[in-house]
Structure 1
């Protein structure tokens, strides 16, 4: 069986519905089905089973769909962005219910219907194994998210039809055991899903990329967790195992020769069709006038942007390869009036990592000093002034080649979203080997340094210069690898928040202790009567503050679920 391109974006669980597929070549002629039925013949029909598995595509958020926010830009709880309202923790009180909990279990139930149905299917064994691999791949993805959010979580590997089933009223399964099951699911998927024929298809390579991400998370989480904050002490043996699994999956992809970096940083975010993008392993497809997202509208419209923070801007190296504290290049970051009458930081960007210029505009704009990005679409120019909570506006996802209407309206964006891509695998491999203590200069030259070369920076060595800003208690090398990851993936795919969780650095989101995460552009030389600045002239993004508590390492278990199952205990600190 050849896996078709997957472009299903919405399906409704536990109902007999169908929806028109839209998109690229290799498309199924059948409509996707999400049918929960006792009719065993469903699982004997390859086309119906294939269409059923396509419904799992909705679990990969990308840029979002229609007016729903995605995992790029909008996941701004972190130190890279400051929302005008300042993102607080996902939960500050215990909810009665939570979509984060219920929606994922609904999708796991859908996967288990497939897996149970395949047990009696008359399809050929290889075909059944492929479908099982797709199911287990998606179960792994869902459980990975539940574990990183809630820690211990009930493991369900079959459909629960009996309300008296012990699983219904049982205790939560240890998060370590669940992650071991996740690894088993991933390995089965890798063994039984064919190699990629499309960037929009389930594939062995997509499963390897997912394994690379998940095993890096698990390996570092188990290395840095604490008994007090996470309920379990560090486990070096477990960390070593998962970091080695990350290395294995990452090296398989890198040495496959199937993928390579695109020539310029940022290209991967601006494509109307990622089907031939050399850097992309798996992507979410959007279709003009059919399936759209709203990301770009928030980066060009009048809604105040979730601007980049001073902390984020300071993270980027200068072109001599040195950080802010040790560079000999000009470090003046004051917004200066240019010939067009705008406040600009072009003088700073000229000496910085080129990624920063791809992420933000050179013009600083804020309440009282709005600005229109002068990059017209083919059918006209933007007319709405932009402002940013920090003065720094986000240009990373805006594609001026797209007609103005599709840039400036909700639900109309149709640039494809990368979900797993080659640069991330390079970052994963470098970090895993550094954490294992086995990284070599050849490894850096294969992973980190192509990324650095692409943006005009010198190569990293095994013994980088110490950065006084290193406040994470790690070696200079690991600090610099983490820096590259932060800069390369800034605003992308919810990575930064979960990186801080797995490194046990969530306290860095306390704005009282780290005020630079609530600061923006230097307005010392700029008129700023309508915004607040601190004693050093840096724009204060919001009057709101965010305080860290150790309990934020986990989401709270919804009270309704605890009431339904008296054996479930609440997470640490939420009791």
Structure 2
């Protein structure tokens, strides 16, 4: 008789990791597989363990998916962010954790029929299991490519799985789509924003299908990938479009405040939210605000990212009619310290921000901060510095007491996981990639985001060509990618995986694109600060260089897994 608290064996095909599967604490430890699957309440309790996979802002002092992931062209990390892997690891949680979650989903799927509940309930929970299996396969496939397909929980006698070969990634993703479609058709259709339901299934489907559609369109055989598959690409892009359209018709609307999506202590009433992660004072905390408002150096915005924001005339840096100077203004004033008014100086970028996309001023501070020139946000708390001079204010909340801002493991603002802005972006990108974009499509998607950002609407013909377009795509696709970048700046590790699916990972080579590690222009600082600069720009490179190699389109398979099953093989370019 299997125990619910199964000991996991460290091997890929067994998809068991060295941890307990679930229900490993408290009185539920006494359950067995035979007496656990008896009612829907138990199933609900089991499925609640899936929520831990949504990192949001992180847990306690750990990092999440917002802000922390600095391997992109949007940030220069406070410590240099090289490639995730530079050598083949002996083991990897990136590999292990996904298989643990897939096994968790398969256990649910194998036991739903044993539970005394309605057919509707059984279909819902099958949908949950298939949704979570799809979600974790998606995350493994985008990182590792070809994988074994495992649709059952395993034990040590399952040699066919234990020592089998990897299946082509395209076939795996076709099966992922089957799981997603089942979930979309069968999960409970309710409006709860912190439960797995049909809306979440459609949101996952839109994200996954956009990744897959664009990946199949832009991949290159010469970079150790398959040749482009336009039939498959169009199929997945159409699935993206239909999933996004479904959510756009479900009554969600944009929140009036862009920043309010990120710094709220209660997202339950936010009309833009589809699914969010709740934190609660004295129960579950994160440390994101502490890392952007305390003495720990901030991983600042890059010059490359700063320059991607449009001006208020709707034009990019190269063609705007507005002031394009990026020299911060040196201002002399006063500040209050311990109740005493003392002289103060700042390098202000407030005037620059006033003529840019509003999202920029809701993402970074109005004053520069770097070594030798600290800045205290909201005039209270701890003096901050940034690796690039640009402070990150997007996730901070001035209404929180400093004890809940500046200390790690004390922050309790909620994290968005799926929200309407992402759906608008997915819809618009799918339309543009399919080549059937209409003005109506733009107006009901990204132009709503641009309106909130104080920008004029985008037209199908765009009306200008940005010389910064270095991706070889049309003006329309470039502008939609810009919109995605600026709307989702620092969010959910989005930028890195966008570069993967667009086949643009070479844009992270800092020897070719040095401005991805440069920061603010501090030409007007009259003091001789001891700080690395390139000309008058802060150098956030930490005197290091990130060099691109096409092998980085795939993570390496951990060597311990290849030792257990040599048929797994290694991904191209990675040597044991």
TM-score bracket, normalised by the shorter chain, equals: over 0.9
The reply on whether 1:273 has 2:262 as its aligned counterpart is no
Which residues in structure 2 correspond to 1:71-90 (within 5 Å)? 71-90=65-84
Quick one: distance in 2 between partners of 1:405 and 1:572? Answer: 49
Residues 268-306 of structure 1: per-residue CA shift (max 9 Å, x gap):
112111111100000001011110000000010001110
Map 1:547-566 → 2, pairs under 5 A: 547-566=547-566
- Rate the CA distance shift 1:528–1:71 in 2: closer, same or farther, 3 A: farther
Per-residue CA deviation, residues 237-264 of structure 1 (Å, 9 max, x unaligned), is: 00000000000000011022x2000112
* Whole-angstrom distance in 2 between the partners of 1:505 and 1:13: 39
Task: Find the partner of 1:404 among 382, 402, 405.
Answer: 402
Mapped to 1, the partners of 2:447 and 2:436 lie a distance apart of 17
Which one of 372, 386, 397 corresponds to residue 388 of structure 1? 386
292, 300, 307: which one aligns with 1:307:
300
User: 3-state SS of the aligned residue for 1:435?
Assistant: helix
- Identify the residue that residue 232 of structure 2 maps to in structure 1: 238
Distance 1:164 1:116 in 2: 16
Q: In structure 1, the residue corresponding to 2:373 is in which secondary structure? A: coil
Corresponding position of 1:9: none
Q: Does the aligned pair in 1 maintain the 2:40–2:116 contact within 8 Å?
A: no
1:367 equivalent in alignment to 2:371: yes
Matched, 1:206 2:187: no
1:57 aligns with 2:31: no
The 8 Å contact of residues 196 and 202 in structure 1, kept in 2 or not, is answered as no
Query: Once the 2 structures are TM-superposed, how far is the Cα of residue 336 of structure 1 from its aligned partner?
Result: 1.7
Q: Give CA-to-partner distance per residue, 1:475-527, whole Å, 9 cap, x none.
A: 00000000000000000011110000000000000001000001000011213
Note the alpha carbon deviations across 1:431-480, whole angstroms, 9 max, x for none.
00000000100110011111111111111011111000000000000000
Aligned residue for 1:316?
Answer: 309
Aligned residue for 1:17, secondary structure, equals coil
1:531 deviation in Å?
0.7
Q: For each residue in 1:402-440, what CA deviation from the matched residue of structure 2 results, as whole angstroms up to 9, or x when unmatched?
A: 121111111111111000000000000000000000010
The whole-number CA distance in structure 1 between the counterparts of 2:88 and 2:171 is: 25
Contact 2:371–2:529 (CA under 8 A) maintained in structure 1: no
Pairing 1:328-367 to 2, within 5 Å after superposition: 328-340=321-333, 341-367=345-371
Structure 1 residues 355 and 393: alpha-carbon distance in aligned structure 2, compared to 1, 3 A threshold: same
Q: Which runs of 5+ in 2 are unaligned?
A: 1-18, 334-344
Match of 2:567 in 1: 567
Q: State the partner residue of 2:459.
A: 461
> For the Cα contact (< 8 Å) 2:190–2:197, is it kept in 1?
yes
Is residue 22–residue 46 contact of structure 2 (8 Å, CA) maintained in 1? Answer: no
Moved more, 299-308 or 398-407: 398-407
State the alpha-carbon separation in 1 of the partners of residues 398 and 277 from structure 2: 20
Task: Quote how far apart the aligned CAs of 1:187 are.
Answer: 1.0
Q: Name the counterpart of 2:430.
A: 432
2:157 and 2:95 map into 1 onto residues whose CA distance is: 19
User: What per-residue deviation string (whole Å, max 9, x for no partner) do you get for residues 132-163 of structure 1?
Assistant: 11111111111110001101111110011134
Residues 60, 528 of structure 1: CA spacing in aligned structure 2 closer, same or farther, 3 A cutoff? farther
The whole-number CA distance in structure 2 between the counterparts of 1:242 and 1:16 is 37
- Aligned CA RMSD, in angstroms, stands at 1.5
How far does residue 566 in structure 1 lie from its aligned partner after superposition? Answer: 1.3
Distance 2:255 2:288 in 1: 22
Give the equivalent residue in structure 2 for 1:220.
214
Asked whether the 8 Å contact 2:22–2:49 carries over to 1, the reply is no
Match of 1:13 among 20, 34, 46: 20
- Report deviation, 1:165: 2.4
Question: 1-side partners of 2:54 and 2:86: how far apart?
Answer: 26
TM-score by length of 2: 0.92
1:137 aligns with 2:144: no
Aligned residues: 544
**Residue 36 of structure 1, CA deviation:** 8.0
Whole-angstrom distance in 2 between the partners of 1:317 and 1:230 = 36
| 1:16 positional shift | 4.2
Distance 1:15 1:307 in 2: 38
- Is contact 1:34–1:55 with CA below 8 Å preserved after alignment? no
Which deviates more from structure 2 when the two are superposed, residues 349-358 or residues 366-375?
366-375
Aligned residue in 1 for 2:475: 476
Is this contact kept in 1: 2:40–2:115, CA < 8 A? no
CA distance in 2, matches of 1:482, 1:37: 50
Residue 444 of structure 1, aligned match among 410, 417, 442: 442
| Paired residue secondary structure (1:432) | helix
Cα displacement (A) at 1:544: 1.3
Please report how far the alpha carbon of residue 13 of structure 1 lies from its aligned counterpart in structure 2 after TM superposition.
3.3
Any idea what SS the aligned residue of 1:183 has?
helix
SS in 1 for 2:566: coil
Q: Which residue of the partner structure matches residue 176 of structure 1? A: 170
For 2:23 and 2:417, the matched residues in 1 are separated by 29
TM-score in terms of structure 1 length: 0.92
Which runs of no fewer than 5 residues in structure 1 stay unpaired? 1-11, 20-30, 376-380
Counterpart among 416, 420, 435 of residue 418 in structure 1: 416
Q: CA deviation at 1:164?
A: 4.2
